[in-house]
Structure 1
Amino acid sequence: MKKPYSVSIILRTDKKGIDGKCPLNVQIRLNSKVLKLPAKQKVFPEEWDKKSKTCIGKGFGEINIFLKEIELKLEKFCMNKINNNQLLTIDIIKDYYNGINLNCFYTVFDKMFEIKSQKLKEPTIYKYNLLRKYLKEFKKQIDVVEVDLMFIERFEAFLRKKDVGKHGISNHHKNLDAIINLAIKHKLMIENPYINKEYKENSECLEFLTPDELESFSKIKLNHDSGLKLTKDRFLFSCLTGLRHSDINTLTIGDIDLKNRMITKEQIKTGRIVKVPLNTRAVLMVKKYGKGKDKDELLFPSVANQNDNMRLKTLAKTIELNKNLTFHVSRHTFGTMMVNYYQTPITIVKEMMGHTDISITAKYANVNTDIMKEAMRNKFKFKVS
């Protein structure tokens, strides 16, 4: 069977320099395409034997060994790719020759992220960087051929152990899927394991706290653990305002108008401006944490999402809450309360939560059969004649 590629050393007589010397190139033919790469050596035309592909004359022993090593190295690389049914393109060969190891998934990830990041906002860039960090924690070295469905499933199990929450797992899957798709487009990978993997969140399993659960949570007594107390208050404030974790972390005194009881904040994730009214409970929390602070200071001390989530698990145990409590549950709680318990029009809730599409807000309507039962018992009453 004829090889689809060939590797040879050639003399570029068409590139003769002022000194009369010509550069040596490595020429790779792959199917109908030709790639010429510099061997970083120059000789006079009469010092090159075209038939044997070697330099002739005295003093060329080391150069001939060097050229043969390059040729054999590229031959071996191409042969391994073909024998293992891996993708082989001119660009892949060029990157390999230049020391870029495209067998390494992290190299592929970084190249694709460099392309994607030009169109991404800071919060999304942060999420891709976090994904790469988690991948490195999961496995320090990853070959491209390893990234199959089993790899994806094992990585998901790793994320569950890290307790990043359903929403976090879904986001990491979405971003990894995007990187792999872009790699396939650039012919750096052959197939996407996500073809056989569903990772979108199921709205029927939306986690939120009921008013009774929220009240129980707010009454948790803490002695001297300032970390738990801070997370508890940050979570409650998010339940009362619908602000995301990133927005709680960046909320400044200047974003809050106590006189008019209103937060006006640019969302970190979307860049959209949201206006959220403050109820009495939220106002008291602002006064407590904002006392003596300037406009540019943060209302709450910043806390990593992972740390907040770990503390929330501890807090949930104290009230025997049988729910997977993560910080994002606070935002679900706000949306659910506004739509289902306080009958706030979805269009208004959409603006308060900064959603770009009303269908996102609509997922909070009747997310639980208990809510529907309560509505039928208490609000849908009439006499039968």
Structure 2
Amino acid sequence: MTIQFERRTDRPDAAGRCAIHLRAYFDGQRLRFATRERCFATEWNADKGCFKKSFPGYQDANDYLQALTERLQSRYRYLRTEGLPITVEALKAVLQPPAQAPTVVVETPPLLLDLYADYQAALQARGNLKQSLVSVGNTRAHLQGFEKSLRRKLVVADYDVAMHDRFLAYLRQKRQLAQNTVCKSVKHLKAFLRYVREDRKMPTAIESREMKVQWAEVDKVYLTATELAALESALLPSTLVATRDAFLFCCYTGLRHSDLHELNTANVQEWDGSRVLRLTQTKTRTAVSIYLTPPAAALLDKYAGTRAKLLPAFTNQAMNRNLKQITKLAGLRQAVETVSVEGGKVVKRQQPKHDLVTMHTARHTFAVLSLMRGLPVAVLQKVLGHAKIQTTMIYAKIVEDFQHQEMRRVWEGGNTPAPALALVNPVCQIEAAA
């Protein structure tokens, strides 16, 4: 038996590729078989009867031609040995592809990260704020890194209690994230799995109650009345004055940087011969009303008509960098102990206070000084826009000066009335209740 492969040039396809045929000669008979392979002339070695390296997947294609040769020769020898008729039909049958069994479609479960992407899209469609979506996206980035460390893709059924513990270990040990950052990722995971169960009607391998985490109490840095006064009177380079003024305004009103950045003339309204700020907070979409004390009003007047915004507001990162220099020049060098958990150990560090001050320190300062001046916690809750009074109560726990003064009054001064703190440098006030 002689077997050859040839490129038929009589019937090229639209692209110019021609079919490859098998020709076999045996016992005075001739067999021709279409291999279903096609190629260009530059991809075929006519002398050797095989594909050139320029043909995509040439090795697999040549292996296929070799397999056809071996099957045909094996069949020819078998028929000859058994004394059976050797016909073209008998040999061609061995070259035909085997009949395929009915295709069974097996539904592949969606990947965990694909479902998480659907969850992000659903949150965006439902009107979640950009800041919240960024935090949700950070958790997805952590999951991607976790999958990369596992060297495999996860489906929802893979994420059980054991896998959750491995994810926590990855966040703490490999990424070395702080406890509250880990807690934030767990919070987003809980919401995501609830979306999978309730919205997508898919079973999950872990329940929310099995994903418990303990939020760490973080010491809130704030300025004392003395430090605030030092900041107000500090001599600064002209390039830093605008940042200092914006920070002071937040100390007088409790505004976040995001709200300061969006202030415009429509937010300033008349009230009982004075002015108040009325705005909807960017973070919580809560409406608040804040009385502008004389120092706060003076800062508005200082920048009135000089810019599109009511007050100078650069990016949060730029203002935080400036604040480190400003508070250092103002003499805020007192050592502050910071406590963190690293590698399962409690780590304490001493840092100068000016290294810890950020724009959000202004909001803490307003809250603490307001409580020290006797502002009721329930009223402070309304000014800060907190949905729960428990959030505001955190500030009540850190008013150490007030605690010390009360203890000194009780233990050393008998029934001496407490000092009238509300009369000292009254920069943190609010609009009176209607």
The TM-score normalised by the length of structure 1 is 0.59
Are the equivalent residues in 2 in contact too, given 1:177–1:194 (CA < 8 A)? no
1:216 aligns with 2:230: yes
Q: Which amino acid aligns with 2:379?
A: I
Q: Displacement, 1:176?
A: 4.7
Correspondences of 1:223-262 after superposition (within 5 Å)? 223-224=237-238, 226=239, 228-257=240-269, 260-262=274-276
Correspondences of 1:1-385 after superposition (within 5 Å)? 90=107, 93=108, 95=110, 102=111, 105=113, 107-122=114-129, 125-132=130-137, 136=141, 142=147, 143-144=153-154, 148-153=167-172, 157=176, 174-183=187-196, 187=202, 190-191=205-206, 195=210, 198=213, 200=215, 202=217, 205-224=219-238, 226=239, 228-257=240-269, 260-293=274-307, 297-318=308-329, 319-321=332-334, 322=336, 323=353, 324-339=356-371, 341-377=372-408, 381-382=413-414
The answer for unaligned runs of 5 or more in structure 2 is 1-92, 148-152, 337-352, 417-434
**Alignment RMSD (CA, Å):** 4.1
Are the equivalent residues in 2 in contact too, given 1:289–1:299 (CA < 8 A)? yes
For 1:240 and 1:265, the matched residues in 2 are separated by: 16
Alpha carbons of structure 1 residues 337 and 155: separation in structure 2 relative to 1, 3 Å: farther
Q: Which amino acid aligns with 1:344?
A: L
For 1:230 and 1:138, the matched residues in 2 are separated by: 41
Q: Displacement, 1:347?
A: 2.4
Task: Describe the superposition over 1:330-381 as per-residue Cα deviations: whole angstroms up to 9, x where unpaired.
Answer: 2122111111x21012222122112222232222224244430123335884
Q: Displacement, 1:252?
A: 1.1
Q: Displacement, 1:236?
A: 1.8
Q: Displacement, 1:250?
A: 0.9
Are the equivalent residues in 2 in contact too, given 1:108–1:188 (CA < 8 A)? no
Alpha carbons of structure 1 residues 209 and 139: separation in structure 2 relative to 1, 3 Å: farther
Task: Describe the superposition over 1:175-217 as per-residue Cα deviations: whole angstroms up to 9, x where unpaired.
Answer: 35433554466558644899566353527x3332221222233
Percent identity between the two aligned chains? 21
Are the equivalent residues in 1 in contact too, given 2:139–2:185 (CA < 8 A)? no
For 1:288 and 1:110, the matched residues in 2 are separated by: 47
Alpha carbons of structure 1 residues 178 and 383: separation in structure 2 relative to 1, 3 Å: closer
Q: Which amino acid aligns with 1:237?
A: F
How many residues are treated as equivalent by the alignment? 282
Q: Displacement, 1:266?
A: 1.2
For 1:198 and 1:364, the matched residues in 2 are separated by: 23
Give the aligned partner of residue 61 of structure 2.
Answer: none
For 1:249 and 1:194, the matched residues in 2 are separated by: 39
Q: Which amino acid aligns with 1:305?
A: N
Alpha carbons of structure 1 residues 367 and 223: separation in structure 2 relative to 1, 3 Å: same
Alpha carbons of structure 1 residues 200 and 230: separation in structure 2 relative to 1, 3 Å: farther
For 2:299 and 2:144, the matched residues in 1 are separated by: 42
For 1:114 and 1:304, the matched residues in 2 are separated by: 27
The TM-score normalised by the length of structure 2 is 0.53
Alpha carbons of structure 1 residues 154 and 212: separation in structure 2 relative to 1, 3 Å: farther
Q: Displacement, 1:128?
A: 1.9
For 2:237 and 2:142, the matched residues in 1 are separated by: 35
For 1:368 and 1:330, the matched residues in 2 are separated by: 15
Alpha carbons of structure 1 residues 302 and 179: separation in structure 2 relative to 1, 3 Å: farther
For 2:325 and 2:139, the matched residues in 1 are separated by: 23
Are the equivalent residues in 1 in contact too, given 2:250–2:362 (CA < 8 A)? yes
